[in-house]
Homo-oligomer: A and B are copies of this chain.
Amino acid sequence: MINFESDYTEGAHPAVLEALCRTNMEQLSGYGSDHYCESAKAKIKALCGRDDAEVHFLVGGTQTNQIVISSVLQNYEGVVAADTGHISVHEAGAIEATGHKVLTVPQKEGKMNAADLRTFVSGFYNDGNHDHMVFPGMVYISHPTEYGTLYTKQELKDLKEVCNEFGMPLFLDGARLGYGLMADGTDVSLKDIAELTDVFYIGGTKVGALCGEAVVFTHANTPKHFITTVKQHGALLAKGRLLGIQFDALFTDDLYFKISRNAIEKAQLLKDALRRYGYQFYLETPTNQIFIILENKKKEEIEKEVRVSFWEALDENHTVVRFATSWATTSENLSRVIEILK
Contact A232 B93 (CB under 8 A): yes
Bound complex: CA of A91 vs CA of B31, how far in Å?
13
Q: Are B211 and A237 in contact (CB under 8 A)?
A: yes
Number of copies: 4
Q: Are A9 and B28 in contact (CB under 8 A)?
A: yes
Q: Chain B's nearest CB lies how many Å from the CB of A226?
A: 9
Contacts of A27 in B (CB 8 A): 2-3, 9-10, 307
User: Separation in Å of the A158 CB from the closest CB of chain B?
Assistant: 24
A63 at interface, CB cutoff 8 A: yes
B93 touches A78 (CB 8 A): yes
B-chain residues with CB within 8 Å of residue A237 when the two chains form the complex: 59-60, 211
**Binding site of A, secondary structure by majority: helix, strand, loop or mixed?**
loop
Contacts A97-B233, A228-B92, A232-B75 given; does A25 touch B11 at CB 8 Å: yes
CB distance from A327 to the nearest CB of B (A): 11
Task: Digitize A77-102: 1 where CB-to-B-CB distance is under 8 Å, 0 elsewhere.
Answer: 01000000000011111101111111
Option from B6, B91, B211 in Cβ contact (under 8 Å) with A231: B91
**Pair A134/B96 contact, Cβ less than 8 Å:** yes
Per-residue CB contact flags for chain A residues 1-32 toward chain B (1 = under 8 Å, else 0) read 01101101111101001001101111111100
- Asked if A132 and B210 make an inter-chain contact with CB atoms under 8 angstroms apart, the answer reads no
Q: Which of B3, B6, B205, B234 contacts A62, CB < 8 Å?
A: B234
| Contact, CB under 8 Å: B63 / A234 | yes
Which chain A residues in 223-262 approach chain B with CB under 8 Å?
224-225, 227-229, 231-239, 241-242
Known: A3-B27, A21-B21, A63-B235. 18 other contacts (CB 8 A): A8-B30, A9-B29, A10-B27, A11-B241, A17-B21, A29-B307, A60-B237, A61-B238, A71-B75, A91-B232, A93-B134, A96-B96, A96-B100, A131-B231, A132-B228, A205-B238, A206-B238, A211-B242
